[in-house]
Amino acid sequence: MVFTATMDFRPNVDAVLWFAHKVLPLVRQSEPEARFVVVGRNPHRRLDVLRGRPDVVLTGAVDDVRPYIARAAVYVVPLRVGGGTRFKILEAGAMSKAMVSTSLGCEGFPVQDGRELLIADSPRAFADAVVALVRDAGRCAELGAAARAFVETYDWKNIIPQVEAGYR
């Protein structure tokens, strides 16, 4: 599982700590080899409690997040607080990656649970969704393709005509 973000932003720190402490142990009950890779610059000192855990990797800054996303079985968006844009949804979707997100993590996007991604808000539901995807490559491919199709609607070739129509 992978999560990419700026890691000194409070909502991202909260997301990683919640996932690592509450969700990951439940995932590992079914998938003991599962690892959580946190990719992002400036890991906050609150994340130091995760250092040394064999099931968590904090990369810090990387030149390119794409190889990490590509290698992951599932992209997780465990956001529970905060606002801002959710570019991580677009980034993972652009790479046709299967995602599990909290409701807040995909808020503002016209996505549906089970169509472009899976939505889960409790630790158990989130873990169950992750495990289900880890065990079903076909379902991952379906969700990834739907996520990619969704992201393609954000292409400039689709957006510019809508903007131009607004000026008429």
Given this model, what pLDDT does residue 83 score?
Answer: 66
Structural domains counted in the chain: 1
Q: Which residues of 102-128 are buried (b: 16+ CB within 10 A; e: fewer)?
A: bebbbeebebeeeebbbbbeebebbbb
For 51, residues 6+ apart whose C-beta sits below 8 A from its C-beta are 58
Given this model, what pLDDT does residue 84 score?
Answer: 64
CATH number at residue 107: 3.40.50.2000
The Cα–Cα gap between 40 and 53 comes to 17
Which residues span the domain enclosing 113? 2-166
What's 108's DSSP letter?
A: T
Given this model, what pLDDT does residue 167 score?
Answer: 85
Given this model, what pLDDT does residue 85 score?
Answer: 65
**What is the pLDDT tens value at each position of the chain, 168 positions in all?**
999 999 999 999 999 999 999 999 999 999 999 999 999 999 999 999 999 999 999 999 999 999 999 999 999 999 999 866 678 999 999 999 999 999 999 998 999 999 999 999 999 999 999 999 999 999 999 999 999 999 998 777 766 776 778 787
Given this model, what pLDDT does residue 166 score?
Answer: 79
In this structure, are residues 105 and 79 in contact, taking their beta carbons and an 8 Å threshold? yes
